[in-house]
A and B are shown apart, each in its own frame.
Chain A
Amino acid sequence: MIEYAWLIPVLPVIAFALIIAFGRKLHGEGASVAIGGMLASLVISFTIAAQWFLGGASKLHDGLYSVVIPWMPVAGKTIDMGFSVDALTIVMLIVVTVVASMIMIYSIGYMHGDKRYPRYFAYLSLFSAAMLALVVANNILLMFMSWELVGLTSYLLIGFWFEKPSAMRACKKAFLVTRVGDVGFLAGMILLYLQTGSMNLFGEAGVFEHLNEIQGFVHVGPWMIPLIALAGLLLFCGAVGKSAQFPLHVWLPDAMEGPTPVSALIHAATMVAAGVYLIARMYPVFLADTSHIALNVVAYTGAFTALFAASIGIAQNDIKRILAYSTVSQLGYMVMALGVFGYAAAMFHLMTHAFFKAQLFLGSGSVIHGTGTQDIREMGGLRKKMPWTYWTFLISTLSLCGIPFVTAGGWSKEEILTVAFFTNKPVFIAAVIGAFTTAFYMFRLVYKTFHGEPRNHEIHVHESPKVMLVPMVVLATLAVVAGYVGTPFANGFEHNLAPVLGEHYEKALKTALESSGFHAGFHWNIFWIGTLAALSGIGLATIIWLKPILKIEKLEPAFGWLAKIVENKYYIDEIYQATIIRALMLAAAMYWFDKWVIDYCIVNGVGYLSLILAQIWGWFDNNIIDGLVNLSGWMTGFGGRVLRQFQTGVSQQYIFLMVVALVLMSIVFLVGHLSEVKWVIGFFQQ
């Protein structure tokens, strides 16, 4: 079955093409086709996973199954295209296909009656195809293409309701901000290609085999940076854009303008995880840099983002925005884990996060569907009216908070904390504070939404249809059970994932971990720190919002100023507005000056002046000069017309005129020669 792995991204592409071509004529207005394609990919993915992990295919193929076909010859070299299957790929395939098919099923209910219903499913299929292609690609160029395609579908889906101006702005913002990171990815790709001469990742001629040959340095200001670290940093730029890390996190909360299932699939579970996946896929590049510059940047960026986004999450009132900041924060966790050598931990958290965050978004979609609002201040008391939504939402929230032993999130967070504890203490502290904050704002969300009394009685709440509840239940189940593949007691996940790096880099990773005193397994001290952080966050939220022992009004004077900063997201958007956008506006003003003053007034002015002068001359020429010419012509014509009156063609008139003329001439002659006439008369009279 592994040889058919290429079918996994191809099937959704076919679904996309069919829906675009036939639209509403298809069964279920295209939804059945999209879901059918996705479920087929899901089946193939699970079959491959079963063969790989249970059927011994992993050993048969030595940990990597890769197929390469020549793609295009460029400058004497051939760029290949192909797909590869290894443990990392399979994890991502399962995450993407499971979440995508659940969300497509959910969308039948959520998008019911939308006027662009088939197109929605077409876009979802295209997105899934691009994401799956990104995962199975064994070639940086192919990865980059899928990466961009993923960005495009994200743009299309955020702006799906493009009648809303906010959605229009959000999709533009998302596209442009992620492009900033993509430039880094592109530059990193070019750098790797120039240094290793290959686009392929694996194999004898592949990038990973030649990383040790990259020995150069670049001077950046006073620092010397190894080229390999630069390559890592550039690739990380791409991840920063796509995975919404600080400072390019600004697009993700705005991306919530899209339909909620889209937020669940793209902006929570899969696409934003693509940045994490990219770092994981290119992890040998980061490990080959023995100075670990790039990895430290990754770790601190991730830790800062995790803490920073979590703190913003406290003061938001839009249910989807809270989840968006939570996503940014959790992505920060994954990036941070990668930065502190927690390779398997990051991927494990990616998987569990995909399930519980997708469920949380679907739950929030269900709440929005049932109440018609996104503002948690207008909700309250939904627990009784939407029991299924409430319980699944609560399970996922507990998983996100990292409640140990029971939930999947507990296991993955535990693992990240363990790695961070040994390798990087500041990052560990940030992660613990992040865990506390996460628990705090998530329970604030749960209490305000589902507990207490309904705050707005005009809203008629109803539970969502079954087609929406079933995916939520499935994902909530996964949010619990998915963790058992990677418990510290029997860590099958890490055991299977480690060989992905290849022998050399697996050893490098192990050396780096062991030099920091890390030893795998279950550590009670770390367990207690993590658990206490989460529980105290929940407890604080409880005494503020569920049982108001701490009155929010009393906290107001002490923390009001802080709340205001946090509520405004640390004014990051405003800072960008004031610096980058202002600079761009200045450029725009210069452009305006150039366009209107230089081009329009001066250049075009001279042109217009010439034109006007030419028009005056033209008028003079046409009317005065030509008029004189025409006048002479007209005069001639007039003379001709007058004289023509005599040319009647009637010979009698000619004769008459001749006679008249003769008579007149005779008279004139005779008068002039009167003396001769007298002489003649006299002659005759003699």
Chain B
Amino acid sequence: MAIHSVGYAIPVTWFLTVGAMLFCIGLFGMMVRRSAIGMLLSIELLLNAANINLVAFGSYLKIPVIAGQIFTVFVITLAAAEAAVGLAIVINIYRNEQHIDADKISAMKL
């Protein structure tokens, strides 16, 4: 399978740049979003930024393995599970506190 894309015009740096930008957006969102839902969305962005990197590295490898793509599938699965658990937590928080503002949730704080 000649999927070597070495000869393609798009260098790996570009992919990495996109991944880095997505990561930064996700990180920024994590830090500034008050809403728990927003934070979950930002996590998705972070994971996907990592996925892009994985896929990019995988396709630029000189040996014929698809470890990067497979790892990405795992990450997507994990992200789905994480989203399910995270949303469940958010719903419970909303039921208890009538809001989902992460800043104000401090019931477990000393």
A contact set with B: CB distance below 8 Å: 644, 647-652, 655-656, 659, 684
Give the CA-CA distance A279 to B110 in the complex, in Å: 97
Give the CA-CA distance A649 to B103 in the complex, in Å: 8
Q: Is the CB of A649 within 8 A of B11?
A: no
Whether B95 is near chain A, meaning CB under 8 Å from some CB there, is no
Interface window among B25-33, B47-55, B64-72: B25-33
**A656 contacts which chain B residues (CB < 8 A)?**
31
Whether B2 is near chain A, meaning CB under 8 Å from some CB there, is no
Which residue in A644, A650, A684 is a CB contact (below 8 Å) of B11?
A684
Chain A residue with Cβ nearest B39: A651
Q: Is the CB of A652 within 8 A of B103?
A: yes
Chain B residue with Cβ nearest A648: B109
**B11 contacts which chain A residues (CB < 8 A)?**
684
Give the CA-CA distance A325 to B70 in the complex, in Å: 137
Shortest Cβ distance from residue B90 to the other chain A in the assembled complex, whole angstroms: 13
**B106 contacts which chain A residues (CB < 8 A)?**
649
Q: Is the CB of B102 within 8 A of A651?
A: yes
Q: Is the CB of A655 within 8 A of B30?
A: yes
> A656-B31, A659-B31 are known contacts. Are A649 and B13 too (CB-CB below 8 A)?
no
Known contacts A650-B102, A650-B103, A684-B12; 8 further A-B pairs (Cβ under 8 A): A644-B110, A651-B102, A652-B31, A652-B32, A652-B33, A652-B102, A656-B31, A659-B31
Whether B108 is near chain A, meaning CB under 8 Å from some CB there, is yes
Using an 8 Å CB-CB cutoff, how does the interface string of B95-109 with A read, 1 for contact, 0 for none? 000000011011011
Q: Is the CB of B27 within 8 A of A684?
A: no
**B31 contacts which chain A residues (CB < 8 A)?**
652, 655-656, 659
Chain A residue with Cβ nearest B28: A659
Give the CA-CA distance A644 to B109 in the complex, in Å: 11
**A655 contacts which chain B residues (CB < 8 A)?**
27, 30-31
**B34 contacts which chain A residues (CB < 8 A)?**
652
Using an 8 Å CB-CB cutoff, how does the interface string of B21-65 with A read, 1 for contact, 0 for none? 000000100111110000100000000000000000000000000
> A651-B39, A684-B11 are known contacts. Are A659 and B27 too (CB-CB below 8 A)?
yes
Which residue in B27, B30, B32, B109 is a CB contact (below 8 Å) of A649?
B109
- Of the A-B pairs whose beta carbons lie under 8 Å apart in the complex, a sample of 7, sorted by A's number, is A649-B105, A649-B106, A652-B33, A652-B102, A655-B30, A659-B27, A684-B11
Give the CA-CA distance A651 to B109 in the complex, in Å: 12
Which residue in A644, A648, A652 is a CB contact (below 8 Å) of B30?
A652
Give the CA-CA distance A659 to B28 in the complex, in Å: 10
Q: Is the CB of A649 within 8 A of B39?
A: no
> A655-B31, A656-B31, A659-B31 are known contacts. Are A649 and B12 too (CB-CB below 8 A)?
no
Chain B residue with Cβ nearest A659: B27
Chain A residue with Cβ nearest B12: A684
Give the CA-CA distance A32 to B89 in the complex, in Å: 100
**A648 contacts which chain B residues (CB < 8 A)?**
109
Using an 8 Å CB-CB cutoff, how does the interface string of B6-22 with A read, 1 for contact, 0 for none? 00000111000000000
Chain A residue with Cβ nearest B11: A684
Shortest Cβ distance from residue A658 to the other chain B in the assembled complex, whole angstroms: 9
Give the CA-CA distance A135 to B62 in the complex, in Å: 141
Shortest Cβ distance from residue A376 to the other chain B in the assembled complex, whole angstroms: 99
Chain B residue with Cβ nearest A649: B109
Shortest Cβ distance from residue A677 to the other chain B in the assembled complex, whole angstroms: 14
Shortest Cβ distance from residue B28 to the other chain A in the assembled complex, whole angstroms: 9
Chain A residue with Cβ nearest B103: A650
Give the CA-CA distance A647 to B109 in the complex, in Å: 8
**B12 contacts which chain A residues (CB < 8 A)?**
684
Chain B residue with Cβ nearest A650: B103
Shortest Cβ distance from residue B61 to the other chain A in the assembled complex, whole angstroms: 13
Give the CA-CA distance A32 to B44 in the complex, in Å: 115
Chain B residue with Cβ nearest A651: B102
Shortest Cβ distance from residue A663 to the other chain B in the assembled complex, whole angstroms: 10
Shortest Cβ distance from residue A6 to the other chain B in the assembled complex, whole angstroms: 89
**A652 contacts which chain B residues (CB < 8 A)?**
30-34, 102-103
Give the CA-CA distance A656 to B109 in the complex, in Å: 19
Give the CA-CA distance A648 to B108 in the complex, in Å: 11
